[in-house]
């Protein structure tokens, strides 16, 4: 069973999403699915711009209050972790863990303010990898950050492959960021095998550079068509 106490909610901003996924103004006009969207503000900001994104994450089964409480509990632990692993991150333009914390908190507050209404509208759905109950090719673009490849130690190769094949089933194009494992600059142990498995199934795979880099070496995304 999915338990909130096992989650470290840490959501990125709309600007971060643009950078992580190389999203162009044209891309923002597409129908977009954000898998493992967590407490990121991308969906909320897109809504303010008149666009509808569907985000999936098991944390969406909880209330805003429960998610807020979990953010409060884990916040000091994350700041401590950033100090302990300081050299693994790029401290520009944000120069300290506290400043980064404030920036992330602002994004998460924007998510929390939008969450109750977004849940009613079906923009936040309690669905989890590796299976999503959407018809084939329902979306133009599926994006996913900081779960696949990031948690390569916790999730097996088959979980990764099944999850990515599922994203390819529900969307015409898939982008995943970053390709390095959590708290390291090392490429995911699954990456080469995933590229091979996708290529052998006739998917087109492309690794693209991103301007966004916070985790050192985390400046590439995987695009699959």
Ligand X SMILES: C[S@@+](CC[C@H](N)C(=O)[O-])C[C@H]1O[C@@H](n2cnc3c(N)ncnc32)[C@H](O)[C@@H]1O
225/219 Cα distance (integer angstroms): 20
The correct pick among 33, 37, 149, 221 for binding ligand X (CB under 6 A) is 37
73/78 Cα distance (integer angstroms): 10
38 lies in the site for ligand X, by CB under 6 A: yes
23/225 Cα distance (integer angstroms): 16
- Which distant-in-sequence residues (6+ apart) come within 8 Å of 15 by Cβ? none
The correct pick among 67, 147, 167, 174 for binding ligand X (CB under 6 A) is 147
Identify which of 174, 126, 120 has the alpha carbon closest to the alpha carbon of residue 148: 174
SS3 138: coil
Contact stretch for ligand X (CB under 6 A) within 32-40, 82-90, 92-100, 211-219? 32-40
DSSP 216: T
DSSP 27: G
Contact stretch for ligand X (CB under 6 A) within 5-13, 93-101, 118-126, 192-200? 5-13
Contact stretch for ligand X (CB under 6 A) within 3-11, 76-84, 115-123, 134-142? 3-11
Site for ligand X, residues 54 to 73, rule: CB under 6 A: 57-59
20/49 Cα distance (integer angstroms): 19
11 lies in the site for ligand X, by CB under 6 A: yes
14 lies in the site for ligand X, by CB under 6 A: no
147/182 Cα distance (integer angstroms): 9
Contact stretch for ligand X (CB under 6 A) within 67-75, 116-124, 140-148, 202-210? 140-148
The correct pick among 62, 129, 139, 214 for binding ligand X (CB under 6 A) is 129
CB 38 → ligand X: shortest distance, Å? 3
178 lies in the site for ligand X, by CB under 6 A: no
**Cβ-proximal residue to ligand X, closest one:** 38
**In this complex, which beta carbon is closest to ligand X, that of residue 107 or of residue 197?**
107
Question: DSSP of 61-107, one letter per residue?
Answer: GS-HHHHHHHHHHHHHHHHHHHHHTGGGB--SS--SHHHHHHHHHHH
CB 202 → ligand X: shortest distance, Å? 26
12 lies in the site for ligand X, by CB under 6 A: yes
Per CB under 6 A, residues contacting ligand X are 7, 9-12, 35-38, 40, 57-59, 128-129, 145-147
């Amino acid at each position: 069973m999915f338990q909130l106490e096992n989650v470290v909610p840490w959501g990125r901003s709309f600007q971060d999403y643009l950078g992580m996924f190389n999203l162009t103004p044209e891309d923002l006009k597409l129908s977009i699915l954000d898998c493992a969207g967590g407490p990121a503000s991308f969906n909320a900001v897109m809504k303010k711009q008149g666009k509808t994104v569907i985000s999936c994450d098991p944390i969406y089964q909880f209330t805003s209050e429960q998610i807020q409480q979990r953010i409060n509990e884990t916040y000091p632990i994350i700041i401590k972790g950033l100090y302990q692993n300081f050299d693994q991150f790029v401290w520009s333009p944000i120069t300290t863990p506290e400043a980064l914390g404030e920036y992330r908190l602002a994004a998460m507050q924007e998510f929390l303010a939008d969450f109750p209404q977004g849940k009613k509208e079906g923009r936040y759905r309690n669905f989890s990898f590796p299976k999503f109950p959407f018809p084939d090719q329902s979306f133009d673009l599926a994006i996913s950050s900081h779960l696949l490849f990031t948690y390569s130690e916790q999730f097996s190769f088959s979980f990764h492959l099944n999850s990515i094949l599922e994203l390819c089933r529900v969307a015409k194009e898939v982008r995943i960021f970053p390709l390095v494992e959590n708290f390291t600059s090392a490429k995911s142990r699954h990456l080469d095998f995933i590229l091979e498995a996708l290529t052998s199934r006739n998917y087109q795979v492309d690794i693209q550079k991103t301007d966004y880099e916070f985790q050192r070496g985390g400046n590439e995304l995987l695009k699959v068509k």
